[in-house]
């Protein structure tokens, strides 16, 4: 999981006057990187409520405000449902907003996830992913994020503190252009609390990258509108269709903004990241920092033992990057999808596996593929385990679900 | 309260709440909405909780509201308003708010305030947002077809507290929402009735002005035709009797001092109140009450007045 | 397929950009009884205008001579939106408003 430098690296001197002259690098946790990104993005209103492992984001933001470094209103709400409600209200009034939550907090706020995307508000929310109760777990898996994936939000799953920083800034531009809320998820603890070097952008340049958009509608007495009306069967479907279309269109938008960001700040990631896939026979498809990092180490190990192994990391989860993913897996003989969440009762319990299988089915691709579930409740995913996935793929890849790392 | 309007002639004439909405004929809340919107003036944002008012006034593609208006969910109108208030503050500070001194007003029913909305209301009050929270109280979840809420009075018939052979109506007393709100030490909270419009609009405007200092609260009594079971032309009469019998006293909590407003200021003396029966018997939801039960309600009412009078002397 | 607007034609987010558009909806058809103001009995107390839940009683300024009295206002009912609740008739102190059956 030591992915610090994005694959495109830095371009010293290239880009001319658009590149910042001095590099400011801080040692930050994923959560602190999120806070710095919010600070740079000229956010107006932040709803603050603590939940492990998100708490240090809002602590850092509170510190910034207390020191006069961030000119934002903090609303110390009394629950996560109110946190999302407050940013819905603030965003509707035209403010640029931020909030963060995890696990049970995301569950409590759930109805507002649908409402935020239904009213088409450009809210940005950080979600350090954490397992869901019961039993209660404060540790990392993606049960909470996966439970929110059908709510009409743009969802990024990122893998390093640097990527958290960069993606939150990108998310504002994407959200405000698409008029859709955006979630930036990452490993709770494993990324949120791990210190890595993060290159920070010049804040003035970030503001230039994030000009204030002309919002289609806001709550303003000069142009009064009604938001959140009652829609009868004659009307409701059209608005949901609008959302579906907007989310599909956001696929290209995410790529475009990421590319623009790369031109301006020197770092970009794409929607799908690949490792040694040019000539891979067998691939592990996964998301998040811990899984990706260990899968890469396992791929190296497999390569040393003569298995042409590669890794694919899904960065944009919603809208689903079908074409980029299919392209990445074009040449493989078999692949495994490593999921860190269990969708109980599903035909296959791995959520990403389901999405990949559907994408393949719809595009006439039929490859042997295994759904591997691991890292539930932050069960340690050893590199050895991931290596075993490659050997399994080489020996007999069946379309089945393998619960790895559990004592059944 | 500050007296902004002395007589009916001083009242604002411009209608800021359009007719053609789907509220019942004779709806008490409709009267309240007309006067709330007129009094707060055009420079305000309204956050509304799910309920009778929300559903009947925003049937897509029509809206009765002439104000910027947002409905999010049932329990969070206070949280949404907190967000709007904070946004206006932040945007003003950055020179990005072009509408001047915009007020933020919540309109929520008893369901969305006493029960499901209590948490977000308390949070908003504790954080001292400059928001005017207006509760229109029709004493049950009316929009879903008359189910009991924490605001429903004892013995009242609702569909979830029906009058049967074993249990007759609601078992518990009505929750004291003003007590809960004033415990948050807000600058201003008051009760009002749709029968006393001058009193109500002066309180609305006073409460709105006081949002400069912090959150303010208005508890408006709004009779419901189908829910309380009375003929639709009696709404104002019932709202008046509620006050005249001392059942719903008009009072204000102004910076820690409780003040009874006319005519409630005379009702500490029980003999000056009209008999409670006059109020109860007009409503079908109380038709099953026995003499004993009415006496019990009167006793509880006397206790409440005793409590109010002690608060008033503090 | 109906003639209603398509998703691509509608404002996003189900926002209603036209304030007060319920005015288009004439609720006149709701009533069975209709209020009639007998102007000669009206003392311009304003209570009908005050209490109408629809706000459909209109105040008209002018010079009105009624039974030897001169008033500067008159109250008229806009029947487009009157739901016939009868609150105006119930509250009128001079019983100047009569609820009559709506013509069949």
Query: Do the chains contact at C19 and B67, CB–CB below 8 Å?
Result: yes
Q: What is the pLDDT of residues A135-183, one digit of tens each?
A: 999 999 999 999 999 999 999 999 999 999 999 999 999 999 999 999 9
Nearest CA in chain C to A178: C12
Q: Any idea which residue has 């003392």 for tokens?
A: C43
Q: Any idea which residue has 């013509």 for tokens?
A: C103
Query: Do the chains contact at C16 and B58, CB–CB below 8 Å?
Result: yes
Identify the DSSP state of A219.
-
Instruction: Give the other-Cβ count within 10 Å of A71's Cβ.
Output: 14
Report if residue B307 sits inside a domain.
yes
Q: Any idea which residue has 């006439």 for tokens?
A: A364
Q: What is the pLDDT of residues C83-94, one digit of tens each?
A: 999 999 999 999
Nearest-neighbour CA in chain B from A232: distance (Å): 7
Q: Which residues contact A197 (CB under 8 A, 6 or more apart)?
A: A4, A25, A26, A27, A28, A162
What's B287's domain CATH number?
3.40.50.970
Residue of C20, C48, C72 to mutate, testing the B interface (most B Cβ within 10 Å of its Cβ) = C20
Query: Do the chains contact at B233 and C51, CB–CB below 8 Å?
Result: no
Query: Do the chains contact at A89 and B89, CB–CB below 8 Å?
Result: no
Residue C104: the pLDDT is: 73
Q: B147: domain range?
A: 16-313
Domains of chain C: 29-101 (3.30.70.20)
Q: Any idea which residue has 């003036």 for tokens?
A: B41
pLDDT > 90 in chain C, percent: 93
The DSSP bridge partners found for residue A188 are none
Structural domain total, chain B: 1
- Positions of chain B with pLDDT under 50: none
* CATH assignment of A272-403, among 3.90.1170.50, 3.30.300.30, 2.160.20.60, 3.40.50.920: 3.40.50.920
Residue among B64, B67, B225 whose CB faces C22 most closely: B64
Q: What is the 3-state secondary structure (H, E, C) of A85-102?
A: HHHHHHHHCCCCEEEECC
Instruction: Give the other-Cβ count within 10 Å of B79's Cβ.
Output: 35
Q: Are A180 and A5 in contact (CB under 8 A)?
A: no
Q: Are B224 and B28 in contact (CB under 8 A)?
A: yes
Q: What is the pLDDT of residues B149-175, one digit of tens each?
A: 999 999 999 999 999 999 999 999 999
Model confidence band, residue C61 (pLDDT cutoffs 50, 70, 90) = very high
Please state, in angstroms and rounded to a whole number, the distance separating the CA atoms of residues A237 and C88.
Answer: 41
ipTM: 0.96
Which chains lie within 8 Å of chain B at 3 or more CB pairs, if any? A, C
Q: Are B68 and B46 in contact (CB under 8 A)?
A: yes
Query: Do the chains contact at C5 and A234, CB–CB below 8 Å?
Result: no
Report if residue B72 sits inside a domain.
yes
- Ranges of each domain in chain A: 17-265, 272-403
* pTM of structure: 0.95
Nearest-neighbour CA in chain A from B162: distance (Å): 29
Looking at chain B from residue 157 to 216, which residues have their Cβ under 8 Å from any Cβ of chain C?
A: 194, 197
What's the Rg (C-alpha) of chain B?
A: 19
Identify the DSSP state of B24.
P
Residue A9: the pLDDT is: 35
Residue B126 — φ and ψ, nearest 5°? -65, -35
Q: What is the pLDDT of residues A329-374, one digit of tens each?
A: 999 999 999 999 999 999 999 999 999 999 999 999 999 999 999 9
Chain C residues inside the 8 Å CB shell of A226: 15-16, 19
The per-residue pLDDT string of chain A (408 residues; one tens digit each, 9 = 90 and over) reads 444 444 333 333 333 344 555 679 999 999 999 999 999 999 999 999 999 999 999 999 999 999 999 999 999 999 999 999 999 999 999 999 999 999 999 999 999 999 999 999 999 999 999 999 999 999 999 999 999 999 999 999 999 999 999 999 999 999 999 999 999 999 999 999 999 999 999 999 999 999 999 999 999 999 999 999 999 999 999 999 999 999 999 999 999 999 999 999 999 999 999 999 999 999 999 999 999 999 999 999 999 999 999 999 999 999 999 999 999 999 999 999 999 999 999 999 999 999 999 999 999 999 999 999 999 999 999 999 999 999 999 998 899 999 999 999
Which chains lie within 8 Å of chain A at 3 or more CB pairs, if any? B, C
Helices (H) and strands (E) in chain B — how many of each? 10, 8
Q: Are A208 and A151 in contact (CB under 8 A)?
A: no
* CATH assignment of A17-265, among 2.70.70.10, 3.40.630.30, 3.30.565.10, 3.40.50.970: 3.40.50.970
Model confidence band, residue C67 (pLDDT cutoffs 50, 70, 90) = confident
Chain B contact for A226, CB < 8 A?
yes
Query: What's the whole-number average pLDDT of chain B?
Result: 97
Q: Are B286 and B157 in contact (CB under 8 A)?
A: yes
Residue B184: the pLDDT is: 97
**Which among A176, C16, A24, A288 is positioned nearest to B65, based on CA atoms?**
C16
Report if residue B231 sits inside a domain.
yes
């Amino acid at each position: 999981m030591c992915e610090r430098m994005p694959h495109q690296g830095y371009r010293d001197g290239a880009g001319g006057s658009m590149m910042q002259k001095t590099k400011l690098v801080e040692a930050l946790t994923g959560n602190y990187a999120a806070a710095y990104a919010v600070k740079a993005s000229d956010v107006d209103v932040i709803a603050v409520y603590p939940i492990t492992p998100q708490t240090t984001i809002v602590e850092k933001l509170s510190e910034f405000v207390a020191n006069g470094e961030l000119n934002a209103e903090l609303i110390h709400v009394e629950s996560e449902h109110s946190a999302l409600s407050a940013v819905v209200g603030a965003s509707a009034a035209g403010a640029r907003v931020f909030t963060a939550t995890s696990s049970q907090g995301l569950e409590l706020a759930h109805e507002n996830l649908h409402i935020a995307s239904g009213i088409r508000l450009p809210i940005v929310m950080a979600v350090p992913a954490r397992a869901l109760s019961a039993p209660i777990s404060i540790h990392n898996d993606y049960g909470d994020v996966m439970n929110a994936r059908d709510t009409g939000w743009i969802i990024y799953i990122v893998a390093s503190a640097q990527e958290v920083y960069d993606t939150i800034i990108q998310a504002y531009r994407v959200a405000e252009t698409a008029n859709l809320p955006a979630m930036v998820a990452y490993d709770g603890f494993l990324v949120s609390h791990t210190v890595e070097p993060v290159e920070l952008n010049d804040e003035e340049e970030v503001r230039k990258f994030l000009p204030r958009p002309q919002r289609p509608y806001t709550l303003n007495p000069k142009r009064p509108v009604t938001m959140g009306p009652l829609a009868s069967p004659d009307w409701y479907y059209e608005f949901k269709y609008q959302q579906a279309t907007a989310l599909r269109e956001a696929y290209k938008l995410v790529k475009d903004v990421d590319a623009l960001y790369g031109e301006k700040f020197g770092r970009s990631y794409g929607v799908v990241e690949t490792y040694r896939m040019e000539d891979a026979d067998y691939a592990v498809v996964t998301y998040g920092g811990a899984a990706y990092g260990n899968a890469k180490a396992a791929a190296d190990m497999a390569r040393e033992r003569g298995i042409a192994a590669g890794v694919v990391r899904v960065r944009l989860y919603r809208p689903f990057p079908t074409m980029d993913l299919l392209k990445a897996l074009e040449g493989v003989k078999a692949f495994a999808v490593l999921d860190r969440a269990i969708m109980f009762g599903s035909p296959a319990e791995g959520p990403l596996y389901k999405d990949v299988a559907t994408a393949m089915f719809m595009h006439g691709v039929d490859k042997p593929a295994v759904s591997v579930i691991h890292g539930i409740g932050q069960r340690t995913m050893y590199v050895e385990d991931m290596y075993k996935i490659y050997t399994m793929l080489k020996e007999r890849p069946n379309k089945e679900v393998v619960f790895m790392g559990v004592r059944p | 309260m500050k007296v902004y309007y002395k007589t009916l002639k001083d009242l604002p004439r411009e209608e800021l709440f359009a007719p053609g909405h789907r509220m019942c004929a004779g709806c008490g809340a409709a009267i309240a909405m007309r006067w709330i919107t007129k009094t707060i003036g055009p420079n305000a944002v309204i956050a509304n909780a799910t309920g009778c008012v929300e559903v009947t006034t925003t049937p897509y593609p029509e809206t009765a509201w002439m104000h910027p208006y947002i409905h999010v969910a049932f329990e969070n109108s206070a949280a949404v308003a907190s967000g709007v208030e904070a946004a206006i503050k932040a945007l003003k500070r950055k020179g990005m708010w072009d509408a001047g001194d915009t007020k933020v007003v919540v309109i929520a029913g008893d369901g969305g305030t006493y029960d499901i909305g209590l948490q977000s209301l308390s949070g908003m009050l504790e954080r001292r947002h400059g928001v005017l929270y207006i509760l229109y109280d029709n004493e049950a979840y009316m929009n879903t077809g008359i189910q009991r809420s924490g605001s429903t009075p004892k013995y009242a018939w609702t569909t979830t507290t029906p009058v049967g052979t074993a249990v007759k109506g609601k078992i518990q007393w009505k929750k004291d929402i003003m007590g809960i709100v004033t415990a948050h030490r807000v600058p201003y909270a008051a009760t009002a009735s749709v029968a006393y419009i001058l009193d109500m609009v002066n309180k609305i405007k006073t409460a709105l002005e006081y949002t400069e200092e912090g959150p303010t609260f208005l508890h408006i009594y709004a009779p419901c035709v189908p829910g309380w079971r009375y003929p639709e032309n009696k709404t104002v009469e019932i709202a008046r009797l509620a006050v005249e019998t001392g059942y719903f006293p008009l009072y204000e909590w102004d910076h820690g001092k409780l003040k009874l407003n006319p005519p409630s200021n005379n009702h500490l003396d029980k003999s000056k109140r009209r008999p409670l029966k006059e109020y109860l018997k007009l409503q079908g939801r109380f038709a099953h009450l026995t003499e004993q039960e009415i006496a019990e309600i009167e006793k509880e009412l006397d206790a409440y007045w005793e409590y109010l009078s002690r608060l008033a002397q503090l | 397929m109906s003639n209603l607007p398509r998703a691509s034609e509608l404002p996003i987010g189900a926002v209603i950009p036209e304030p007060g558009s319920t005015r288009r909806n004439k609720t006149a058809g709701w009533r069975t009884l209709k209020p009639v103001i007998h102007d000669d009995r009206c003392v311009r107390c304003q209570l009908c205008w005050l209490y109408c839940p629809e706000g459909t009683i209109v105040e008209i300024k002018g010079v009105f001579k009624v039974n030897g009295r001169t008033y500067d206002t008159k109250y008229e009912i806009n029947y487009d939106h009157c739901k016939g609740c009868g609150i105006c008739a119930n509250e009128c102190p001079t019983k100047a408003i009569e609820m009559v059956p709506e013509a069949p």
